[in-house]
Amino acid sequence: MKYKVEITRISHAHRTIEVEAEDIYVAKSIAVDQAGDYEFPETATEYVPADDFRSQNGMMQYQVNSATNVCNGRIENGANVQEAFKWLQEELDQIFQGEWIY
- Condensed to tens digits (0 to 9), the pLDDT of residues 67-82 reads 888 888 888 888 899 9
Residue 1 forms part of a structural domain: no
Name residues of the chain where pLDDT drops below 70: 53-54, 101-102
Burial of 92 per CB tally in 10 Å (0-12, 13-18, 19+)? middle
Answer whether 0.85 is exceeded by the pTM.
Answer: no
Residue 28 forms part of a structural domain: yes
Total domains in the chain come to 1
Residue 2 forms part of a structural domain: no
Residue 102 forms part of a structural domain: no
Domain of residue 91: give its range. Answer: 7-96
4: DSSP letter: -
Q: How far apart are CA 19 and CA 29, in angstroms?
A: 10
